[in-house]
Amino acid sequence: MSSEKKEAGGLSTTNALNDSPFMRACRREPVPYTPVWLMRQAGRYMREYREVRARTSFLELCKTPELAAEVTVYAAGKLNVDAAIIFADILLIIEPMGLDLEFARGEGPVIHNPVRGGHDVERLREVEDVGALDYVYEAIRQTRRALPSGLPLIGFCGAPFTLASYIVEGGASKNYVHTKRMMYDDAGAWHAMMSLISRALSRYLNAQIAAGAQAVQLFDSWVGCLSPDDYREYVLPHTRSVIENVTTGTPVIHFGTGTAALLELMREAGGDVIGLDWRVRLDEAWRRLGDVAVMGNFDPIALFASPDHIRRQAQKILTQAGGRPGHIFNLGHGIIPDTPVENVIALVEAVHELSARQVSST
């Protein structure tokens, strides 16, 4: 991969970033076109990414700032998106907590010492110093220097519930049996663990911001398994705590999947932008959420369809947004492997063209 390094003076760079379509949309300000970026935009669907991965493991890639910056910058330039997102993983933060993390080939993440009750919570370490994750901050610094001066960089973390679920289950899960059992049977231990996670996440996000991220996103990929009552009791206070302690003035994107029944509660938990998946209409979700920006919500599997369908589906979502300030176009979840790169590029081009036409006609 190669990237052109572009630099500008500090003040002009800051002004260019703040005035970018992505940052303006986060603040619900008018934009010349709808900004678009895509979750997992640097990933296995790109040949160039697979070439890097052939030389290194996933965890080594995350922990090598030069490589993490390389794949981040390359993907943003290849797709011509309106924001980059740093290449990392939501589980990196759990290692400083004292958890043994492995990315097993063909199995995904495995935590060899999961938490199943109060006695396990007691062995978790308070992450008062997030310096152990300096490789993430160095990747952000290198990426910020390499990106065009007006292209924002997004930092991120897993939301407290999704991280807690990994920690308790020991890896991916379909039914979250261990997680829900702990919530229901040992609520004191659950809330103690969630509080510890939340404190670590706020510090982690703020360190990413200090390193050069213009916005941050919380990924609550698994929270859709909960009922509204369970979300309010076991999750909402902790997610709110993370968001409230993020550096003032930094836009926060609050994203989850399977959350059609939880949108009002997610709004209550906080965030400048609420991410939507494809299981809910954008216009209906935005009406329920009220005065907040929204992000979404193209079905990532639709990227396997024809370019004509991709364009029509993009237009449907833009029509639902109605040109209202505060819409950031994205997928309803990340790009999956084997997605045709040319279709991803076609989606970005369609969003830019169709939304610019929509703005000019109003």
Separation CA 169–CA 143 (nearest Å): 33
Tens digit of each residue's pLDDT (9 = 90 or more) over 184-207: 999 999 999 999 999 999 999 999
Q: What is the mean pLDDT of residues 153-172?
A: 97
Assigned domain for 2 exists: no
Structure tokens at 139: 């990747």
pLDDT of residue 52: 96
Quick one: pLDDT band at residue 218, thresholds 50, 70, 90?
very high
Assigned domain for 70 exists: yes
Which residues are annotated as catalytic?
40, 44, 53, 89, 166
Separation CA 190–CA 174 (nearest Å): 20
Would you say 141 and 212 are in contact if contact means Cβ atoms under 8 Å apart?
Answer: yes
Bridge partners of 171?
110
Residue 10 in this model has a pLDDT that exceeds 70: no
Assigned domain for 4 exists: no
Give the residue numbers spanning the domain of 126: 10-360
Would you say 160 and 201 are in contact if contact means Cβ atoms under 8 Å apart?
Answer: yes
Would you say 67 and 48 are in contact if contact means Cβ atoms under 8 Å apart?
Answer: no
pLDDT of residue 107: 72
Structure tokens at 288: 């329920």
Q: What is the mean pLDDT of residues 276-298?
A: 98
Structure tokens at 220: 């609550």
Q: Which of 252, 248, 247 is nearest to 220 (CA)?
A: 252
Element (H, E) at 346: helix 341-360
Assigned domain for 3 exists: no
Picking from 3-7, 9-13, 256-260, which range would have the lowest pLDDT averaged per residue?
3-7
Q: What is the mean pLDDT of residues 62-85?
A: 98
Q: What is the mean pLDDT of residues 324-334?
A: 97
Question: What CATH number does the domain containing 203 carry?
Answer: 3.20.20.210
pLDDT of residue 11: 62
Residue 4 in this model has a pLDDT that exceeds 60: no
Assigned domain for 238 exists: yes
**119 conformational bin, left if phi > 0, alpha if psi -120 to 50, beta if neither:** alpha
Residue 8 in this model has a pLDDT that exceeds 90: no
Residue 134 in this model has a pLDDT that exceeds 60: yes
Residue 181 in this model has a pLDDT that exceeds 90: yes
Quick one: pLDDT band at residue 7, thresholds 50, 70, 90?
very low
Structure tokens at 343: 């279709």
Residue 351 in this model has a pLDDT that exceeds 50: yes
Q: What is the mean pLDDT of residues 200-215?
A: 98
Structure tokens at 61: 């890639």
Q: What is the mean pLDDT of residues 319-324?
A: 97
Assigned domain for 118 exists: yes
Would you say 171 and 103 are in contact if contact means Cβ atoms under 8 Å apart?
Answer: no
Assigned domain for 207 exists: yes
Residue 266 in this model has a pLDDT that exceeds 60: yes
User: Cα-flanking dihedrals φ and ψ of residue 267, to 5°?
Assistant: -60, -40
pLDDT of residue 136: 98
pLDDT of residue 362: 57
Assigned domain for 259 exists: yes
Residue 228 in this model has a pLDDT that exceeds 50: yes
Total of domains in the chain: 1
Residue 2 in this model has a pLDDT that exceeds 50: no
